[in-house]
Copies of this chain bind each other. A is one copy, B any other.
Amino acid sequence: MVAVGTDRLHRAVASKMICEMELPTYLTALRERIEQRLRLDTRFPTDCPERLAESIRYSLLAPGKRIRPCLVLMACEACGGEIEAALPAASALEMVHCYSLIHDDLPAMDDDDLRRGRPTNHVQFDEATAILAGDGLLTLAFAVLARDVRPVEIVADCVLDLAAAAGVCGMVGGQQADLEAESDDSITLPELEAIHRRKTGQLLAASLRLGGRIGGADPQTLRSLTIYGESVGLAFQIADDLLDVLGHEEKMGKSVRKDAGHGKRTYPSLLGVEESRRRARQLIDQACEAIAPLGARRAQLTALARYVIERDH
């Protein structure tokens, strides 16, 4: 990856050249701002137990793609807002994503020992600490939104968007449905898609909506961003399933074909590899079409959508 300093990004924003940046360069610059913000948000006062703070930083500051916070910043910018204003929401989205990974990895859930090549949180620390680190991150996400999203009038909508996407009819419900479906060999494509919409799609859509709100988006634009987020989310899941079938263990840093080994149904197992690819392309077209009304400023969002189905890691 090309290293791009904050100054260069600032200059690019100032000169309105950001739409012309190459996507990887742009994402690298966004990620630097996000990492910086995540480090700041996890400098806890001394009344936070040290082991708990360490456990949170271990997972939150681990290397990651930072897809959700990048989408928050990109949506904000695509709506004409400043990246700086969207950083608290970006941080909150990554915290919610990170908490969900910590809890999903627990022995009572997916029982994973490795994530991206490192011991999972409960292996590195212990189960109680991992449960509390997840609880703490989820709580911190809302604290950051409430404390730093401005103007204060949009905080309620941002909190509600995030809570609805992460809650029992969203991500948490999706994880429950996913666990229940694990033993079900007769799952249909609509059922699988309904699980992924809740488990992945809604949080991606919330990333776009929060960025949009902070960028001053009108209700019609928020609807467009929501469709983009849900569609990219599903395409992302299909791409993940395909990598799981076709990928190599060393590339993923986790056990490949693990999902298939658990008897889980995936897109390739239900649709075949070629039809899964076609479905992913169709979703990406849908995503790009939805944000067409945003005009030239949507360039990076379009590029990211296309990238999702081309990536190999």
Contacts from A to B (Cβ < 8 Å): 44-45, 47-49, 51-53, 56, 99, 103, 106, 108-109, 126-129, 131-132, 134-136, 138-140, 142-143, 145-147, 149, 152-153, 155-157, 159-160, 162-164, 166-169, 172-173, 175-177, 179-180, 194, 198
Contacts and interface: CB of A to CB of B under 8 A. Distances in A.
Nearest to A156: B155
A169 B44 contact: yes
B173 A52 contact: yes
A206 to B, nearest CB: 12
Contact of A140 (B128, B167, B175): B167
A234 to B, nearest CB: 16
A97 to B, nearest CB: 13
Contact of A169 (B47, B135, B153): B47
B128 A52 contact: no
Nearest to A166: B139
B135 A172 contact: yes
A95 B309 CA distance: 40
Given A138-B139, A163-B146, A47 B176 contact: no
Contacts of A128: 108-109, 176, 179
B131 A167 contact: no
Contact of A159 (B131, B132, B159): B159
A48 B166 CA distance: 12
A177 B129 CA distance: 10
21 contacts: A49-B180, A51-B180, A52-B172, A52-B173, A103-B131, A128-B179, A129-B176, A135-B138, A136-B172, A138-B138, A139-B163, A139-B166, A139-B167, A140-B168, A142-B159, A142-B162, A143-B159, A143-B160, A145-B159, A146-B159, A153-B153
Contact of A168 (B52, B103, B162, B198): B52
Contacts of A159: 142-143, 145-146, 155, 159
A53 B162 CA distance: 19
A116 to B, nearest CB: 22
Given A140-B167, A143-B159, A145-B159, 5 more contacts: A52-B168, A108-B128, A109-B128, A136-B173, A142-B159
For the complex of A and B, 6 pairs with smallest distance between CB atoms: A108-B127, A143-B163, A146-B159, A155-B156, A146-B160, A136-B168
